[in-house]
Amino acid sequence: MSVYAEFHRRSIEDRDAFWAQQAEWITWQTPPQTICDHSQPPFTRWFAGGTTNLCHNAVDRHLAARADQDALIFVSTEVGIEKTYTYRALHDEVQRMAATLQSLGITTGDRVQIYMPMVPEAVFAMLACTRIGAIHSVVFGGFASGSLASRIEDAEPKLIVSADAGSRGGKVIPYKPLLDEAIRLSRHKPAAVLLVDRGLAPMERVAGRDHDYATLRQQHRDAQVPCVWVDATHTSYTLYTSGTTGKPKGVQRDTGGYAVALAASLPHIFMGKPGETFFCTSDIGWVVGHSYIVYGPLIGGMATILYEGLPTRGLDGEANPAIWWSLVEKYKVSVMFSAPTAVRVLKKQDPAALKQHDVSSLKALFLAGEPLDEPTGRWIADALGVPIIDNYWQTETGWPLMTIANGVEKRASKFGSPGVPMYGFDVRLLDEATGEELTEPGRKGVVVVQGPTPPGFMQTVWRDDARFVKTYWQSIPGREVYSTFDWGVRDADGYYFILGRTDDVINVAGHRLGTREIEEAVSSHPNVAEVAVVGVADALKGQVAMAFIVARDAAGLDDAAARLQLEGEVMRVVDGQLGALARPARVLVVNTLPKTRSGKLLRRAIQAVCEQRDTGDLTTMEDPAALEQIRALMAR
Ligand code: PRX
């Protein structure tokens, strides 16, 4: 048995001993009493009875050895700022923020929503929350008021931390009006709003509710706020993600299990060492940002780069396709983490740009979030000359479910495959309809995880255990297994290939979006009677959303200009409610939508037609002409 196969085997078969050992990667106030409690499946509780603190592990514990080493490196090519915080400075800032939160009434268990651009205060706020045992819930800054409102209603935060504005490609995007509108739409109203004023956009303050961070920070300049020791099973955060219904799920994560999972992943998967620099180009609004911009690198004693901006603009605001590589050179980045979409954007630029910089500090580039196509993988591997390591995971898993654990044993990657199941994950492939396990290579099935789930995995859906069980654990007949809702196949060497979602989730530029959410937004346009949104393959973004609508009043819509106007209006509705990232690439008017005789929308058939694939068996279809119209529209 290979070294890694044995490592993986122990993580499953000798679970308690294996994970008790991994638990030593972090600092405990009191050691865990039980390692894995799986007495109430499908719920898994890790390290119960042990007390610890995420912020202590990410910041305070490093003060003795590396107070003067870099912890947070903030680079914004949007506003032309480059600023470094040592571990000591980060410790000071987190305490100022923690004292500010306390002064606004926040204590252990309270929810704090964070709706912020990529600024250091967002990281301070996350760490300040976990420092005092408050539960943070970060909402991606690219979401608009409708998305934000539904998350406010579900999380019921006492406080929302936000900012005047973000910026993208030099264009200021005001956040405060979106926040005010979201609070207006939400049935739950936060008691307080804490605002970071970047001086980018004017803000109207609501008296008695809105507070300026600059003032409060000054008041708490010398604050000392000790870490609150919490049980390993204490909820550290919730992070909303899209699924099959229109209502996003609050993925809830613990403290001790998460800290252990991240701490262990650094040496085993990412090969990152204390004192080195980690550069993850994701956003704090996504799980990758939580795990590998904020908590992972800091728990591992590394410096982490927080990057605000496009991959193609320099600090001077001029076009610069080599900005990331210049940062790799300058900060001697050893571990880099990005997404295939970003690489495809860079691929369109001049490859010589990359060669201007010394990237020899890099051990590997990790890519995740969407399938890595071979041409993109090969291009960046050749250009950088370092291993490109695909890793497959989900908001729910918190860290990679499949990749190659080169820190345990070096093993070749295969193009198109994220690799093999990570330690702690008992992965199976099942037949969707029968629940039969597919053991022989080459058969396509649903990727599932047999419980108990490993440390770092979601605890439950926030305030909805029933939804957690029903959605994730009861989707396959006769089996109680966690479904990833991804199709996969395994080859004879045990490498997996991920073949897309089994549900209505789409992946646009690595962003996970629910087509139902987009459909709900589109439907709110007064002239939309019915709508179907599907994800269609796109060379740059992986997938784009396409919307097909049936108009309430089709009069005049035989005119191309009128159709174009309606398309623009629908796009603006989506922009306003969900944000531009959810905007369909096209909104096309049809007479009817393809449905089964029982009225079920045939989204997979629409998608197949859009991608010029075989639609499969359509004998249950009500009106074949509906699909023909879509085919004709797409052919234009
Ligand atoms: O469909 C899979 C796809 O992204 C989904 C999870 O998205 P999210 O919750 O945003 O978490 C992203 C964490 C990296 C998965 O169900 N996906 C993610 N990584 C890969 C991938 N598909 C193929 N290859 C990957 N490496």
Contacts (Cβ under 8 Å, ≥6 apart) of 544 = 508, 535, 536, 538, 584, 585
Whole-Å CA distances, 550 to 330, 481, 547, 601, 612: 54, 39, 10, 13, 22
Whether the per-residue pLDDT at 255 is higher than 90: the answer is: yes
Residue that is written with structure tokens 């499908």 in the block: 42
Computed on alpha carbons and rounded to an integer, the radius of gyration of the chain in Å comes to: 24
Decide: 359 and 388 in contact? Cβ < 8 Å.
Answer: no
Ligand 1 binding pocket includes 483 (Cβ within 6 Å): no
Ligand 1 binding pocket includes 394 (Cβ within 6 Å): yes
d(CA 489, CA 472): 20
Say what the pLDDT of residue 246 is.
74
Decide: 273 and 302 in contact? Cβ < 8 Å.
Answer: yes
Say what the pLDDT of residue 91 is.
98
Could you tell me which residues are beta bridge partners of residue 165? 174
Decide: 552 and 529 in contact? Cβ < 8 Å.
Answer: yes
Whether the per-residue pLDDT at 244 is higher than 90: the answer is: no
Average pLDDT score over the chain: 96
Whether the per-residue pLDDT at 635 is higher than 90: the answer is: no
Interval between CA 251 and ligand 1 midpoint (Å): 15
Residue that is written with structure tokens 């009191």 in the block: 30
Contacts (Cβ under 8 Å, ≥6 apart) of 177 = none
Tokens representing 348? Answer: 């369109």
In ligand 1, which atom is closest to the CA atom of 367? 26
Tokens representing 594? Answer: 């393809």
Summarised one tens digit per residue, pLDDT across range 154-213 is 999 999 999 999 999 999 999 999 999 999 999 999 999 999 999 999 999 999 999 999
Ligand 1 binding pocket includes 340 (Cβ within 6 Å): no
| Pairing label, strands 111-115, 230-231 | unpaired
pLDDT above 70 covers what percent of the chain? 100
Q: Amino acid letter at 418?
A: P
Q: Using CB atoms within 10 A of its CB, is residue 176 exposed (0-12), middle (13-18) or buried (19+)?
A: buried
Whether the per-residue pLDDT at 354 is higher than 90: the answer is: no
Residue having the nearest C-alpha atom to atom 23 of ligand 1: 371
d(CA 35, CA 452): 12
Residue having the nearest C-alpha atom to atom 3 of ligand 1: 370
DSSP per residue over 486-511, as a string? Answer: EEEEE-TTS-EEEEEESSSEEEETTE
Residue having the nearest C-alpha atom to atom 8 of ligand 1: 394
Residue having the nearest C-alpha atom to atom 10 of ligand 1: 512
Summarised one tens digit per residue, pLDDT across range 381-421 is 998 999 999 999 999 999 999 999 999 999 999 999 999 99
Summarised one tens digit per residue, pLDDT across range 567-625 is 999 999 999 999 999 999 999 999 999 998 888 899 989 999 999 998 887 777 888 88
Tokens representing 353? Answer: 């740009």
Whether the per-residue pLDDT at 352 is higher than 90: the answer is: no
Summarised one tens digit per residue, pLDDT across range 476-488 is 999 999 999 999 9
Domains contained in the chain, CATH given:
3-483 (3.40.50.12780), 509-635 (3.30.300.30)
d(CA 453, CA 298): 24
pLDDT above 90 covers what percent of the chain? 92
Decide: 190 and 183 in contact? Cβ < 8 Å.
Answer: yes
Interval between CA 510 and ligand 1 midpoint (Å): 7
Summarised one tens digit per residue, pLDDT across range 469-516 is 999 999 999 999 999 999 999 999 999 999 999 998 999 998 999 999
Summarised one tens digit per residue, pLDDT across range 1-48 is 899 999 999 999 999 999 999 999 999 999 999 999 999 999 999 999
Interval between CA 607 and ligand 1 midpoint (Å): 19
Ligand 1 binding pocket includes 508 (Cβ within 6 Å): no
Whole-Å CA distances, 321 to 343, 376, 510, 589: 11, 16, 20, 39
Say what the pLDDT of residue 616 is.
80
Smallest CA-to-CA distance from 236 within 215, 262, 213, 274 is with: 262
d(CA 235, CA 117): 24
- Mutate which of 244, 391, 507, 508 for ligand 1? The one with the most ligand atoms within 8 Å of its CB, which is 507
Whether the per-residue pLDDT at 355 is higher than 90: the answer is: no
Interval between CA 546 and ligand 1 midpoint (Å): 20
For 495, the 3-state DSSP assignment is coil
Smallest CA-to-CA distance from 144 within 585, 610, 624, 578 is with: 578
Average pLDDT value for residue range 263-270 = 98
Interval between CA 394 and ligand 1 midpoint (Å): 5
Decide: 414 and 385 in contact? Cβ < 8 Å.
Answer: no
Ligand 1 binding pocket includes 256 (Cβ within 6 Å): no
Average pLDDT value for residue range 54-62 = 98
Decide: 443 and 430 in contact? Cβ < 8 Å.
Answer: no
Say what the pLDDT of residue 186 is.
97
Residue that is written with structure tokens 């309809």 in the block: 433
Which element (helix H / strand E) includes 31? none
Ligand 1 binding pocket includes 498 (Cβ within 6 Å): yes
Smallest CA-to-CA distance from 47 within 65, 27, 67, 66 is with: 27
Decide: 489 and 496 in contact? Cβ < 8 Å.
Answer: yes
Whole-Å CA distances, 337 to 81, 305, 423: 22, 11, 20
Residue having the nearest C-alpha atom to atom 15 of ligand 1: 394
Average pLDDT value for residue range 329-348 = 95
In ligand 1, which atom is closest to the CA atom of 402? 26
Residue that is written with structure tokens 């590998």 in the block: 292
